[in-house]
Amino acid sequence: MKDISIAEITELVIAEVPDLESRLEKMFDWHFNRDMVLIRWILGTAASFAIALLIIFFKVSQPQSAAQVSPTFDYTILIYLLFIPFGIGSYGFVKINQLRSLHRQFVASLKIASELKTIRNFLVRYRETEK
């Protein structure tokens, strides 16, 4: 819920919130930091799964001595299991692309807030007549 509505910005302008721009910046900064932590966790999980599967692959594919019974290992299962870290990692990259729009939302919120400040008196009168 990074999207702040125009109605919410209007309410903040009407209420004459002191230092509105820094409060908006703090809110968007909080969302950015929270999403970055989530993305790091997602990509770390994907890397952990991938490394674990690679270790399993190399342990199984090592040549064994003739005296040992060679276990039959189905490599198709390993290939299917590789889709797990790929899917998790893909979700992380999708979240990174979504995070790019956060800056545009922040700039748009600042622009709308500054434009609404110029018509604050009109907004207050309109609100009084609406009640």
Q: Is the dihedral of CA 110, 111, 112, 114 positive or negative?
A: positive
Could you give the residue ranges of the DSSP H alpha helices within 62-82?
Answer: 75-81
Considering its fold, how many domains does the chain have in total?
1
101 versus 72: which is more confidently predicted? 101
70 pLDDT band, cuts 50/70/90, is low
On whether the pTM is more than 0.95, the answer is no
List of residues 6+ apart from 35 with CB closer than 8 A: 95, 98, 99, 102
Element (H, E) at 26: helix 20-61
Which of these, 21, 31, 43, lies nearest to 98 by C-alpha position? 31
58 versus 18: which is more confidently predicted? 18
Helix (H, G, I), strand (E, B) or coil at 82: coil
User: Could you give the C-alpha distances from 25 to 3, 58, 107, in angstroms and in order?
Assistant: 13, 49, 9
**Cβ pair 101, 1 in contact under 8 A:** no
Domain membership flag for residue 67: no
- Give the mean model confidence (pLDDT) for residues 15-36: 91
Domain membership flag for residue 65: no
Domain membership flag for residue 46: yes
> How large a percentage of the chain has pLDDT more than 70?
89
Q: Which domain holds residue 103?
A: 6-60+72-130
Domain membership flag for residue 29: yes
Residue 64 has pLDDT above 70, yes or no: no
Domain membership flag for residue 37: yes
